[in-house]
Amino acid sequence: MTASPRSDANAAPLRHLLDSGRLIVCVGPGGVGKTTTSAAVGLRAAMAGRKTIVMTIDPARRLANSLGLDDLTNDPQQIDLTEALKLTGNKDNGGELWAMMLDSEKTFNDLVDRLAPDKGALKRAKENNIFRLLSSALHGMQEYMALEKLHDLYTGGYFDLVILDTPPTKNALEFLETPGRASTFFDERIIKWFLPNRKSGLLGRVFNPGSIVLGLISKVLGESFVNDLVEFFDTFHYLQETLQQRGELIEFILRDPLTHFFIITSADPRRIKEAVYFHEKLGQLEQRADFFIINRVIPRFHPEDIAAIEDADLDTLLREADHGASAEHISGLRQRLETHYLQLAKLAIRDREAIASLATKVGQEALRLIPLLGEDVHNLTHLLKLSDFITPLEPDARVATAKG
Amino acid sequence: MLDPLLDKRLIFVTGKGGVGKSTVTAALGKALASRGKRTLVLETDTFSAMEDLYGYEGTGLEPVKLSETLYASNLLAEDCFVATLTRFVPGERVARAVINNRVARVFFKAAPSVNEVTILDQIRVFYEAEDQGNPRYDHIVVDLPASGHAVTFLNVPATMNGMMRGIGPIAKMTAQVAAIINDPEQTAIAAVCLPEEMPVNETIELASNLKGVLGRPLTLAIANMVHRAPLHDDDRPIFDALLARVRASTPGTSSLLFDEEPTDESDALARLVEGNALALGWHDRDQRYLGELRSHVDAPIIELPIFYETSGDDVVARVARQLGGDSSSLDHPLAI
């Protein structure tokens, strides 16, 4: 039932990467099917024998359904691979597929619960206005918390491979820059500013250079806000050390040679432009994209096809279906089909040109193409088909690995 | 098509990533401006799409004049922060001192919601700007962040205000901004989506969150890039029979479509039929999700057909004409 395996040169390096990588970060513009593609990558890795978890940010319910789940939650859920293995005729290589959806608020609350030194601190934290603001999923929280979860999944020791689906464009870039950001918010110097300096008393605070700014801030932001802020930092200094350590560790993980970046895009020229922007941004962050997966590529329709088709032949074929239709009616329908096909062919050419321009920038060998499938991915068969285009499954992954 | 927006001075446009939100924002701006209304189009600190769509690249807060009535600017958080601080800290020198203080910079950069408040405050400044007693802009169209974040973004002033217990100049400012946003008479919130599962669900969710969190309705939903049907409904039986015949005589057509190798001329007919089958599938899927949208969102819904122009400003021009009520591109059902 699977599409014929594509024996192209790019498949082997990608397969190797799925076999050996420990973390794959999927970034890319919105609306290109990034989450579904990430799931397809995860499915392929799991079927090749790896214990894989896909962490998504914002999945469609039908993705959960296609994996045989009602819904994705903040806790990893295991996906039954029996049917997928049966469909492809592969044997169970001990791989597992797990999936979860990030719930920032819950993750943050769990983190605070876990790290609070005592019940009193926890109670104070939860009553603090700023804490409440932070935990109601304000901007940036999703990114902080994705890294927090990533840390747990990565260091937990159970999973061989973590696949991280990130929010689109701007947020994904914030996401990559977040390790630094999360720890700067709780930067020791900032905390010292706001924390009452018990040793030096009032005079000590007045002459503390930070407190001049503090005074100014209270003027602008209001006394009560600053008091809340002081209390917040006082309560949360226990988080600071942990977040800073994790931030550093995550930076380290992101730079690990077994961490890979996939840019997922569509062939639309504007999306390709965004993909190039990601590519450059990764470069600035001293990272590189290992693969560009181009999703929903229009099949190769050719404008020349219209000339190759004899109008009379097509009319005859159409008339065979309906003996009652007039010749005029039939030729009208034929023209409609031809016009529409020409537009599709134009679109196909536009896609190929955009892909070619990407190839000149990043190299043909970094590209993987997934054709536009006729329907939404809403069952396992569709997901398998998608993963076949990413990298074809070997008839028996274990034997192949042993040989290699 | 623009009726629900004509009496709104501030128009926030939101939508999931990839639905063409920036294109629709640009087209809305263009359509309003072409009615002779002074229109300002604002981006909120993003990877600017207007370079492509309007053929310019804005720098700084000062709006760039694009035509007699159309202006645009990309509100970078950093610039807005400096502008807000300068407005609220007595004396520019003191403001500069804070801005140049390294620790203060780090703090404000990392602190949540500072960016949102200062961007919204800058929008307020444009909103209140006057020339000789008249508003400088008749319409301000804002390209908001993706809809998952839109409600949070728009609710930041109210949240901030609550945190400050209404005390201090910033609290006062946030109250003003919140009042403007929450007034459905002056301010429109328009959601752009595609006729696909996730964007439609997100729009339904957005409409209910706006009610729940901000206590105001969604003004308008715009279904973008709706596929046209390649053929009339009456002709479906004829086409289906053709498709069945072609598939029977050319086994493996669908895999042949995905082949990246140059293809055989003899498959031309099969490709033509499969291509139209694909397009018919898109159309059917679109109609299904449009039905979902209509039955779950209590706001006017407008449909924009898909345009395949390669260059951004061509698409903007066509969508703007469409929004402005010129339906000539629809007369030809296959116009692409």
Contacts of B273 in chain A (CB under 8 A): 337
Residue in B94, B238, B336 closest to A321 by CB: B238
Highest-pLDDT range among A132-141, B215-224, B299-308, B324-333:
B215-224
Residue B275: CB partners within 8 Å, gap ≥ 6?
A299, A301, A340, A341, A344, A345
ipTM higher than threshold 0.85: no
- Segment among A2-11, A153-162, B38-47, B82-91 with least mean pLDDT: A2-11
CB B16 within 8 A of CB B205: no
- Report the distance separating Cα A223 and Cα B157, nearest Å: 18
Q: Which residue of A has its CA nearest to B85?
A: A220
- Report the distance separating Cα B263 and Cα A302, nearest Å: 9
pLDDT at position B97: 74
Q: Which residue of A has its CA nearest to B252?
A: A3
Mutate to test the interface with B, among A194, A343, A377 (most CBs of B within 10 A): A343
B100 touches chain A (CB under 8 A): no
User: Closest Cα partner for B153 from A117, A171, A152, A166?
Assistant: A171
Taking an 8 Å cut-off on Cβ atoms, the answer to whether A336 and B231 are in contact is yes
Beta strand A289-297 with B301-305 is unpaired
CB A347 within 8 A of CB A270: no
Contacts of B230 in chain A (CB under 8 A): 336-337, 340
How many angstroms separate the CA of residue B71 from the nearest CA in chain A? 23
- Report the distance separating Cα A149 and Cα A141, nearest Å: 12
B95 touches chain A (CB under 8 A): no
**A276-to-A13, A35, A171, A290, A360 alpha-carbon distances in Å:** 21, 19, 16, 13, 11
pTM for the model stands at 0.80
Please list the residues that pair with B75 across neighbouring strands: B44
Domains and CATH numbers, chain A: 10-298+372-390 (3.40.50.300), 304-347 (no CATH)
How many angstroms separate the CA of residue B8 from the nearest CA in chain A? 27
CA B173 to chain centre: 26
Residue in A31, A343, A371 closest to B308 by CB: A343
Mutate to test the interface with A, among B89, B202, B258 (most CBs of A within 10 A): B258
B288 touches chain A (CB under 8 A): no
Identity at B83, one-letter amino acid code: A
CB A298 within 8 A of CB A190: no
Tens place of pLDDT per residue across chain A (404 aa): 333 344 466 678 889 999 999 999 998 887 788 888 999 999 999 999 999 999 987 766 777 877 888 888 889 999 999 999 998 888 888 999 999 988 877 887 888 888 777 777 777 777 777 776 665 544 456 667 777 888 889 999 999 999 998 876 555 556 566 555 555 555 555 555 555 554 443 334 444 555 666 666 666 666 677 777 777 777 767 776 777 777 778 888 888 999 999 999 999 888 898 899 889 888 887 888 999 999 999 888 889 888 888 888 888 888 887 767 888 888 899 999 999 999 899 889 989 999 999 999 999 999 999 988 766 777 888 889 889 888 887 665 444 444 33
